[in-house]
Structure 1
Amino acid sequence: MEQGRAREAAVPPSGAPRVPGQAKGPGARAGDPRGEHVHGGPPASRSVHRHSVRGQILAALRTALVDGELAPGEVYSAPALGERFGVSATPVREAMQQLSLEGAVEVVPNRGFRVTERSARELAELAEVRAMIEVPVMLRLARTVPARRWVELRPLAEATIEAAATGDRAGYAERDRAFHRAVLALAGNEQLVQVADDLHRRAQWPLTAAPVTRRGDLVADAAEHQALLDALCAQNLSVVQALVREHFTGSAL
């Protein structure tokens, strides 16, 4: 296929992500804080329903990106994706606009959205920025957070290992970010967590013509989470620093 041509078969049928069944959203709540009189609630219901569908589509598109079902350099039209998902083009377009803000796709006027082609250099730059942000924070947390708090995060680390063992790239990507968010949340800085999570998500989009990530790579990446918790519990600062930097530069996703 010529690069840049909008693909009607937006996602391979055998691996196409599915959108869960759509349920009606709740109507307007009594006691609206604005003191307005709401008649019946349909406008609010439609708004909540559309937001729910957009969220489902966004999750499905993110999964397709991580799994490589949406290929770097290809253009996908909102109507074609909407037909694939069984929804109108509107929630697909809205979800794609969000992915555009995240750097995963770019708008192609009158055609659709092109999946961003990323290089190994871009990935290295993201790893460098993440290390600049997270290493100092984790070193500070290693000095101040009691061991019992790190023990509480072990189920999140184990969840990444479970996803890695099955080769579930998309599931691993979500659990990997959940683990890092939980660690950084102990710093008590929500802005830090949001910025770091955005960088982390950008680092998970596939490279141009990247080889398929092997299950063994995911397992090795996940094992570093447990090792990091061990080092944090022991307040071993040199190991914490080495693990975090290695984790970023050698991450499977």
Structure 2
Amino acid sequence: MTQGAQDFPGSGAPAARARTLHVPQQPTAADVDRHEGVRGEHTHGERPAERRPVVQRASVRGQILDALRTALVAGELTPGEVYSAPALGERFGVSATPVREAMQQLALEGAVEVVPNRGFRVVVRDARELAELAEVRALIEVPVVLRLARVVPVERWAQLRPLAEATVRAAATGCRATYAESDRAFHRAVLALSGNAQLVRIADDLHRRAQWPLAGGRLGRLGHADLLADASEHTTLLDALVAGDLDVVRALVEEHFTGA
């Protein structure tokens, strides 16, 4: 590990910490190199149809990216700390390459920043940034939801009931990362009714950023009780949308982002 970089996700028993991320067994660096076919060659007797380098590489990188995002939301990646790709790779049981690629994606999303010759530092965020994100999300999502409330048929809103109820179940677990995924899924489904894929993509990116921990590793306002309260707003909002009560819808969506 490069000096100054941190193991992941913290000190203690590495094996136990790694299991908490629920990352499937990954191929070794030798396995990846063998299947990538960098030189475009294969050994005699090997069936080319069995070699799927693009799928294999994308699968590893995608799983690592998902695991890192989960660790970030759960507070297992500490704001301000530097993590090296080789050290993270050891925890996941993969080479440093897919970890580095996943971290570079997180850098594009603004979650981490590159520290030359050391690794990646988790970005330090404060309450003001969280408030700014909530304001921007409200500017985008509130008018869209109010417009959709006037034109979307009742049966379409009713179809979102399972997603709203899923956020309640996720909140009941008390796991911030689990809730974060279900929370974004519900919001994506609501905005998808607009038919605007770019809107959904931008709003989801802002929503993901709003879920990252604050400076000092603090996870924002959402404790267990707050997760349950936030989730209940989804079901209450859906009830108002099904009922076509625009005044209640407006009050609920504005309050939802004020407390975000």
TM-score, structure 2 length as denominator? Answer: 0.85
* Structure 1: segments with no counterpart, 5+ residues: 28-38
Question: Are 1:19 and 2:18 an aligned pair?
Answer: no
CA offsets, 1:147-201, max 9 Å, x none? 1111110100110100100102111100100000000000111111001000000
One of 168, 181, 206 as aligned partner of 1:174: 181
Give the secondary-structure state (helix, strand or coil) at the position aligned to 1:72: coil
Question: Are 1:118 and 2:125 an aligned pair?
Answer: yes
Question: Are 1:249 and 2:258 an aligned pair?
Answer: yes
Alignment of 1:79-158 (within 5 A): 79-158=86-165
Instruction: Compare 238-247 and 49-58 and name the one that shifted more.
Output: 238-247
CA distance in 1, matches of 2:161, 2:17: 32
Q: Tell me which residue corresponds to 2:48.
A: 40
> Contact 1:103–1:116 at 8 Å: present in 2 too?
yes
Q: CA RMSD in A?
A: 2.1
Aligned-pair CA distance for 1:218: 0.4
Question: Are 1:224 and 2:215 an aligned pair?
Answer: no
CA distance in 1, matches of 2:63, 2:10: 16
Letter in 1 for 2:127: A
Q: Tell me which residue corresponds to 1:30.
A: none
Letter in 1 for 2:182: R
Give the secondary-structure state (helix, strand or coil) at the position aligned to 1:7: coil
Aligned-pair CA distance for 1:249: 2.6
CA distance in 1, matches of 2:153, 2:25: 44
Letter in 1 for 2:161: R
> Contact 1:10–1:80 at 8 Å: present in 2 too?
no
Question: Are 1:62 and 2:69 an aligned pair?
Answer: yes
Q: Percent identity?
A: 70
Letter in 1 for 2:48: G
CA distance in 2, matches of 1:220, 1:18: 27
CA distance in 2, matches of 1:6, 1:86: 18
* Structure 2: segments with no counterpart, 5+ residues: 36-46
Number of positions where the alignment pairs a residue of Structure 1 with one of Structure 2: 235
> Contact 2:75–2:219 at 8 Å: present in 1 too?
no
One of 188, 193, 213 as aligned partner of 2:195: 188
Q: Tell me which residue corresponds to 1:34.
A: none
Give the secondary-structure state (helix, strand or coil) at the position aligned to 1:6: coil
Question: Are 1:240 and 2:244 an aligned pair?
Answer: no
Letter in 1 for 2:53: R
CA distance in 2, matches of 1:55, 1:211: 24
Aligned-pair CA distance for 1:146: 1.2
Indicate how the Cα distance of structure 1 residues 152 and 211 shifts in structure 2: closer, same or farther if over 3 A, else same.
Answer: closer
CA distance in 2, matches of 1:82, 1:234: 51
CA distance in 1, matches of 2:219, 2:139: 27
> Contact 2:142–2:254 at 8 Å: present in 1 too?
yes
CA distance in 1, matches of 2:161, 2:8: 41
Aligned-pair CA distance for 1:22: 4.2
Give the secondary-structure state (helix, strand or coil) at the position aligned to 2:48: coil
Letter in 1 for 2:179: Y
Aligned-pair CA distance for 1:40: 1.8
Indicate how the Cα distance of structure 1 residues 184 and 124 shifts in structure 2: closer, same or farther if over 3 A, else same.
Answer: same
> Contact 1:127–1:203 at 8 Å: present in 2 too?
yes
CA distance in 2, matches of 1:191, 1:119: 28
Aligned-pair CA distance for 1:211: 5.2
Give the secondary-structure state (helix, strand or coil) at the position aligned to 1:159: helix
